Every structure is written in C-alpha cells, then in structure tokens.
Amino acid sequence: ETGVTQTPRHLVMGMTNKKSLKCEQHLGHNAMYWYKQSAKKPLELMFVYNFKEQTENNSVPSRFSPECPNSSHLFLHLHTLQPEDSALYLCASSQESILAGGADTQYFGPGTRLTVL
C-alpha cells in the first residue's frame, strides 16, 4: 500500500447531496493532485496544488471544489453532481512541483469509487 490514503473508499450520493472526499499523504511531498478515472477512458487530471496553492484547474465544472489546507491534506467538495460524474476519483502526491524543473513521480492513493444516483 502507498503512503497516500483516501476516504471514503466508496460513496453513493444523490444529485442534491453535498459530500467531501479526503486525501492525506504521509510522504512529505509538496504537490498534490486530483484525477478522475471513468470506465474506458484515460485518467483525467482535475486539479494540481503546489505548496498549498492551486496551480492548475483542468476546466473542471464548479460543482467540484478543491481545498488544500496544508501540503499533507487535500479535499474535494462535491455538490449537485450529475450521474455522469460517477467514477473513481484518485488522489496523488509528488515530491516537488514540475515548476522546479524535471519530472517527478506521482504516487497514487487507492481512490474513492463515487456513484451518483
């Protein structure tokens, strides 16, 4: 198992609900990411945080709202979702931002399986 944990592992919600996904990394990394993985599609980057600052929003609808209170924790707040938002949501972390130059490896959590009814 990796040093990135996610809760809950499974979530079922109605379109009018508000819920939050939580991610915590125990690797001492400075960058954190949210990805969406839908069936038969490649992983899609949603948000990037470097040193608690959001550096990328990959045209994600406003019904997804990220929050990064510190370099170890990342949240994804969900509200008024659509059935097509059902997917596996993955959190990842890396040592340093790409802004510092050079590639760095991202380590993933186990994911939250989200079902929107």
Partner 1 sequence: EDQVTQSPEALRLQEGESSSLNCSYTVSGLRGLFWYRQDPGKGPEFLFTLYSAGEEKEKERLKATLTKKESFLHITAPKPEDSATYLCAVQGSSNTGKLIFGQGTTLQVKP
Residues 6+ apart with CB under 8 A from 95: 27, 28, 29, 30, 31, 104, 105
Choosing from 4, 11, 76, 114, the residue that interacts with partner 1 (CB under 8 A) is 4
**In the complex, minimum distance from the CB of residue 45 to partner 1, in angstroms, rounded to a whole number:** 5
Other beta carbons less than 10 A from residue 77's beta carbon = 13
Q: Using the rule CB under 8 A, is 7 a contact of partner 1?
A: no
Strand, coil or helix: 101: coil
**In the complex, minimum distance from the CB of residue 14 to partner 1, in angstroms, rounded to a whole number:** 23
Interface of this chain with partner 1, residues 10 to 69, rule: CB under 8 A: 31, 33, 40-43, 45, 48, 50, 55-56, 58
First-to-final CA distance of the chain? 30
Q: Using the rule CB under 8 A, is 94 a contact of partner 1?
A: yes
**Region label for 101, one of left (φ > 0), alpha (ψ between -120 and 50) or beta (otherwise):** left
Specify the stretch interacting with partner 1 by CB under 8 A; choose among 13-21, 65-73, 74-82, 102-110.
102-110
- Count of residues that interact with partner 1, criterion CB under 8 A: 33
Strands 10-13 and 112-116: parallel
Enumerate binding residues for partner 1 (CB under 8 A): 2, 4, 6, 31, 33, 40-43, 45, 48, 50, 55-56, 58, 88, 90, 92, 94, 97-99, 102-111, 113
